[in-house]
């Protein structure tokens, strides 16, 4: 009754019921959601004030957010903050469209993203989906319910399925039964169902996120260098070792998945890399009657496949700073130039025994955890420059063994820096 009186009053006063009533279903005209600025002919951010004025400008933001509590809108050189009570709607240059709406009778106005508008409107707010049929707004939800039997079990109650079936009832709804029953609480599933429903019914509709990719794909290239820090925690007190060179060089090619529609702070890297190093491992073993020394010259090659999850800490208009968790597969091959073991007797005959034998081996296949920190800068509209600092821990990567000494495992901490471009 109250809704009817409010709607009648709104119509009498000449206001638009689309923006006044709680339920705001119905096809939204292009003049409302269009983000093309008539002055420039280009896509732009815009707002529609409570008085109905449509202004084109810039909504200040660092990410492509799907949820806003307030917006800061730059227009004619000045910036003003707007709350849901101040606006009817606003839109972004990438096509996102928001309306000021109360999702429940007891809630206040919020900025709600409209994913699809038509006879049935699909809304999104803080990870939840809502169906607005013009009369009621219904939460598309599911829950688990305890059931009693031989033991307590949980039954998954998909309440959104019955909500969709009721709102699409009719011949077209019957054709969608299988699609609805197979659906998940997922943006694309809901958009697919409602799109087919409107097409079947011959009703106008608009998908407001059709031009926004779920994720952006960017190829990457990088060059860098690394340094090794080694430690043998269980080394015999009579054994010593040292590497002549701890610096290696690396190159990577791969791609980055970033700017996810739902998780704008997250990104993933998948790369294929090559790491090369030449060094000599010198080792010695000193016992009461003999001194054993060894020298192993080698060239180490590593094919590396790192997968990284990154989380952006700070983002500005043309740069961002991020931290990453890395998991890498290392496929290692070693070419030995020469490896000699020399044995000297301290007491007895003055003779030196030489053996041509490898004193070091390396793990051929390793799964390596790591951490990284990075930043990128916009070089042009299509190219970014990035730098990264990465730390990886290779447990028991080297094995050292002289003639009469027990085998010693050496851990390797690999610290590298790299710089590259992202297209």
pLDDT of residue 19: 38
User: Is pLDDT at 20 greater than 60 in this prediction?
Assistant: no
pLDDT of residue 402: 83
pLDDT tens column, 374-396: 999 988 878 999 999 999 999 99
Average pLDDT over residues 142-160: 79
3-state secondary structure 335-393: EEEEEEEEEEECCCCCCEEEEECCCEEECCEEEEEEEEEEEEEECCCCCEEEEEEEEEE
Relative to beta strand 137-140, strand 128-132 is: antiparallel
Average pLDDT over residues 251-258: 95
Relative to beta strand 290-315, strand 319-345 is: antiparallel
Q: What is the mean pLDDT of the chain?
A: 87
Average pLDDT over residues 40-48: 95
Say how far apart CA 132 and CA 113 lie, in whole Å.
Answer: 12
Q: Supply φ then ψ for residue 14, to 5 degrees.
A: 90, 10
Average pLDDT over residues 34-52: 94
User: Which letter does DSSP use for residue 29 in this model?
Assistant: P
pLDDT of residue 17: 37
pLDDT of residue 5: 41
Question: All domains of the chain, ordered by start, with CATH?
Answer: 16-207 (no CATH), 216-422 (2.40.160.20)
pLDDT of residue 16: 36
Q: What is the percent of the chain with per-residue pLDDT over 90, rounded to a whole number?
A: 64
Q: Supply φ then ψ for residue 277, to 5 degrees.
A: -150, 140
pLDDT tens column, 80-120: 999 999 999 999 999 999 999 999 877 899 999 999 999 99
pLDDT tens column, 48-91: 999 999 999 999 987 778 889 999 999 999 999 999 999 999 99
Average pLDDT over residues 338-357: 75
90 sits in the region (left: phi over 0; alpha: psi -120 to 50; else beta) called beta
């Amino acid at each position: 009754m109250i809704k009817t009186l409010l709607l009648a009053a709104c119509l009498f006063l000449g206001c638009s019921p689309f923006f006044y009533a709680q339920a705001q279903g119905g096809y939204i005209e292009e003049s409302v959601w269009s983000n093309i600025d008539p002055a420039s002919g280009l896509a732009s951010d815009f707002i529609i004030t409570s008085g109905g004025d449509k202004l084109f400008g810039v909504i200040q933001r660092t990410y492509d957010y799907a949820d806003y509590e307030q917006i800061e809108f730059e227009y004619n050189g000045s910036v003003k903050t707007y709350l849901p009570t101040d606006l009817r709607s606003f839109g972004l240059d990438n096509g996102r469209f928001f309306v000021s709406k109360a999702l429940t009778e007891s809630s206040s106005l919020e900025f709600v993203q409209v994913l699809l508008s038509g006879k049935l409107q699909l809304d999104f707010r803080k990870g939840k989906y809502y169906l607005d049929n013009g009369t009621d707004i219904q939460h598309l939800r599911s829950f688990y319910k305890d059931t009693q039997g031989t033991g307590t079990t949980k039954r998954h109650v998909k309440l959104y399925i019955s909500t969709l079936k009721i709102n699409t009832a009719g011949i077209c709804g019957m054709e969608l039964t299988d699609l609805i029953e197979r659906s998940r609480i997922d943006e694309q599933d809901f958009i697919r169902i409602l799109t087919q429903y409107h097409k079947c019914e011959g009703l106008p509709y608009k998908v407001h996120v059709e031009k926004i990719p779920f994720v952006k794909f960017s190829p990457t290239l990088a060059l860098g260098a690394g340094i090794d820090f080694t430690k043998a925690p269980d080394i015999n007190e009579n054994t010593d070792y040292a590497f002549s060179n701890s610096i290696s060089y690396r190159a990577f090619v791969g791609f980055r998945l970033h700017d996810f529609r739902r998780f704008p702070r997250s990104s993933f890297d998948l790369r294929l890399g090559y790491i090369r190093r030449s060094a000599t491992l010198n080792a010695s073993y000193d016992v009461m009657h003999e001194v054993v020394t060894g020298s192993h010259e080698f060239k180490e090659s590593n094919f590396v496949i790192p997968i990284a999850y990154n989380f952006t800490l700070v983002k500005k208009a043309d740069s961002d700073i991020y931290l990453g968790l890395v998991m890498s597969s290392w496929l290692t091959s070693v070419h030995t130039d020469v490896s000699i073991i020399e044995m000297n007797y301290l007491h007895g005959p003055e003779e030196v025994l030489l053996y041509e034998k490898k004193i070091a081996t390396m793990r051929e296949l390793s799964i390596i955890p790591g951490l990284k920190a990075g930043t990128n800068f916009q070089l042009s509209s299509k190219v970014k420059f990035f730098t990264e600092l990465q730390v990886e821990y290779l447990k028991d990567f080297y094995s050292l063994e002289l003639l009469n000494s027990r085998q010693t495992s050496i851990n390797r901490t690999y610290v590298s820096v790299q710089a590259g471009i992202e297209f």
